[in-house]
Structure 1
Amino acid sequence: MTSRLTLITVNANVLAVQTVNGEHVGNLKRIGEIWKFKAVGYSADGAVEPGGGPLTGQHNTVFVSPDADAVSGRLAPHL
């Protein structure tokens, strides 16, 4: 079964992407007319690691819109 990801509004151009357990795994960023997934990880001491985390391989995945079902369908299988 595929995990469901949630999108949480940060501002008009950024949405945080979280797992069902509340783990922040990246952000969707609006760049012009498209949305790109930007993977995020955290070091052992809690420092942010841009491009890191469990979805590193999906960094820069493009989406037409910030649709939670589409994001889950494409990203969650990689968790």
Structure 2
Amino acid sequence: MKLLYFAWIRSKIGIAEEEVAPPTEVTTVGALLDWLAARGPNYAEALKARAVVKTAVNQEYVDPDHPVHVGDEVALFPPVTGG
């Protein structure tokens, strides 16, 4: 699974992207975020305001109950504002 991190999420985690192999029980976006937050303090800090973290799976916005699979591309980013 390819993970992409954007804006302050990238800054807090310390990398822009990575390939991961979550455990088989990680079957939804919400479970993936829980697993990531448990990987270390930088992940926990980046994901502590989970209500504002937006997630896209294969370039489509999704909810926390959306399924994830091996081979998916999952992007995590904060809300985007413009002016």
- TM normalised by structure 1 equals 0.30
Question: Higher strand share goes to which structure?
Answer: 1
- TM normalised by structure 2 equals 0.29
Question: Higher helix share goes to which structure?
Answer: 2
Higher relative contact order (CA 8 A, sep 6+): 2
